[in-house]
Structure 1
Amino acid sequence: MKKRIETTHTLDASLDQVWKNVRTGAEWERWLPILSGSKVEGEGKGAKRVCVMHDGNELFETILESDDQQKLFQYSIDKQSFMPISDVVGTMRFSESNGETKLEWNVEFEVENEEVFAQVKPGIEEIYTTSSQKLAELSR
């Protein structure tokens, strides 16, 4: 079954600086605490990224969109083994709000049932909240 998680975060940092730290998909381990490293091959739409987690698990991703005008970053997780979900597409939309940055970070994925969704939802939300805070710190 297809599920969606929607989150909104306010980052105490300028939109331009936040976007600069996101737009290429590179070095997200600087602000995404579950990652220990990453490598991007290519640039922009269609680029491939491998993210390494602290436990050694890897995420194989494709950058679907990196739009400098709309401040939109979208990615798919093509292969991963640490969560019981599949067909993952994450979307990050950034906008300026009173000198701060508003981040709408949403994810859609397939999951077996409601029970599994209830198990993974809090973890994903926590990752997004913590990462947003770290991104704001890095962007100040």
Structure 2
Amino acid sequence: MLKTVTISKTMAMPAETVWSAIAGIGGLERWFPVIAACRVIGDGVGALRILTLAAGGEMTDRVELIDHCHRRFQYNRIESPFGVSHYLGTVTVGETVDGGSVVEWMVEIDAELVSQELLDFVHQAITDGVAGLEWDLLESAASSSASEAL
């Protein structure tokens, strides 16, 4: 049964800044509280991301698409402790009229039995991760500004 989870968040930072972080493939351990470590093998499309969960276990993503023109990133979760047969994540970064950005993170999940508990977990994990991304970028910008002031 195919289910979709979608998160959308507007950020007060340029789309290119947000896109650069996402297109960089790694760093998810800084954004997602449920991820303890993120290791990247390879570069660009075809690269693998090995994610160690804070609660134990690992997940592996294969990068399927990095479209810089449309700021679209897609990954396929090829290994997961959650027993899903299909997990495709798509992240798109758009521009707002005031120079900010909007991040849309969509996940398609297919499993013989997709529980509401799993959907809620994915929704919360992505929500927390996108908020963590924003926090990380704001913190980096503040650090850069402080360094430049010195």
- Tell me the TM-score normalized by structure 1: 0.89
Structure 2 match to 1:130: 128
Q: Deviations over 1:4-47 (max 9, x none)?
A: 12221112322121112111211211112211111111111111
CA-based RMSD of the aligned residues comes to: 1.4
**Is 1:12–1:101's contact at 8 Å kept on the other side of the alignment?**
yes
Amino acid at match of 2:29: E
Structure 1 match to 2:148: none
**Which structure has greater helix proportion?**
2
Moved over 3 A (4+): none
- Structure 1 runs not aligned, ≥5 long: none
User: Is 1:13 paired with 2:21?
Assistant: no
Structure 2 match to 1:96: 95
Q: Deviations over 1:65-94 (max 9, x none)?
A: 11211111100110111x242311000000
Partner-residue secondary structure (3-state), 2:116 = helix
- Structure 2 runs not aligned, ≥5 long: 139-150
Structure 2 match to 1:117: 115
- Alpha-carbon distance between aligned partners in 2 of 1:25 and 1:101, rounded to the nearest angstrom: 19
Structure 1 match to 2:141: none
**Which structure has greater strand proportion?**
1
User: Is 1:108 paired with 2:108?
Assistant: yes
- Alpha-carbon distance between aligned partners in 2 of 1:122 and 1:56, rounded to the nearest angstrom: 19
Partner-residue secondary structure (3-state), 1:85 = coil
Higher Rg: 2
Q: Deviations over 1:63-122 (max 9, x none)?
A: 0011211111100110111x2423110000000112221111111121223xx4322122
Q: Percent sequence identity over matched residues?
A: 25
